[in-house]
Amino acid sequence: MRRPSGTVLLERALSKLGIASRQDTRAWILAGRLGVNGQLASDPFMPVVPETARFELDGKPLARSRWQTLLLHKPRGCVTTRQDEHGRPTVFDLLPPSDLYLHAVGRLDLATSGLLLLTNDSRLSAWLTDPKNAVPRVYVVTVRGEVSEENIWQMETGIMDQGEQLVAGSITLRKKSQRESHLTVTLHEGKNREVRRMFSACGHEVTSLKRVALGGLTLGDLAAGAWRELTAAELRATFPGVPLSET
C-alpha cells in the first residue's frame, strides 16, 4: 500500500528529525515507551509526518535537535550508510562525535568521491532529491576507451538499461584518446549508479567518478575527507524556494 504524501515510516521519522537512531526508535517502541500524537506507538512501520507529529518518550516531549547541514567531500572507499555490515569506513567516521542524527542526501557509491550533503532536515533532503525539482548534479568522469559523439548523443537523448531509461542533462567531452576519455556529466535525477550504467550501456567502463557540484553548491578547495557547515541562509540563496525545518 502506498503511504500518504509527506509521511515516512515511524522508525525513520526520529532519525530524520535528528532525535534518535532507527535502532533507538525500535527499542523504545518495543518497550512501550514511545508516544506519537498522544498514543503509545506499537508499529515501527506506521506512517507519520515528521514535521508535525508530536513525539513523547515516557510521557515527556522529545525535543528536536539543533538544525544542521554539512557539505562533505566524500573520499573514495567510504560508504554513505551509518553502519556497514562489512566493516568498511563510513562517511560518519569522518565527523566528530555528535548526538545529532544526520542522514545523507542521496548516496555516492563506494568507488565514487565528491560532494555529499548530510543533514537532519527531512524537508530539505526530500526537496533536493525530488525529480520534479531537477536539481543538477555535476560529475567529472574518466572512462576506458574513446567515447564517440554518437555515444554522447545516445546518453543525452536517453538510453535503456535494465528496463529503465537513463538520460543525461548534458555531457561535455574534455579529452579523449583510444585509451580513455575524460568528461563532465550533468544529471537532473538521482537514479542508482546512473553515470556508471549509462557509460556501461555504451561499452565504456567508468574508472573514476567524482561529484563536484549539486545545484549551486561546489566542493571548492575542500580536501577529501573534510567538511564544512552550511547555513540556512546559504541554502535558501542557493536553492530558491527550498523548504527548511530550521527554526
Q: Which residues are catalytic?
A: 109
Unique residue bearing C-alpha cell 574508472: 207
How do 217-218 and 60-61 pair as beta strands?
unpaired
Q: Which one-letter DSSP state was computed for residue 141?
A: E
Per the CB < 8 A criterion, the answer to whether 219 and 196 are in contact is no
Phi, psi dihedral angles at 92 (to 5 degrees): -75, -20
Q: Whole-angstrom Cα distance, residue 226 to residue 238? A: 21
3-state DSSP assignment of residue 30: helix
Q: Whole-angstrom Cα distance, residue 12 to residue 15? A: 5
HSE-up of 70 (CA within 13 Å, CB side)?
Answer: 22
Q: At CA 175, angle to CA 170 and CA 179, rounded to 5?
A: 115
3-state DSSP assignment of residue 58: coil
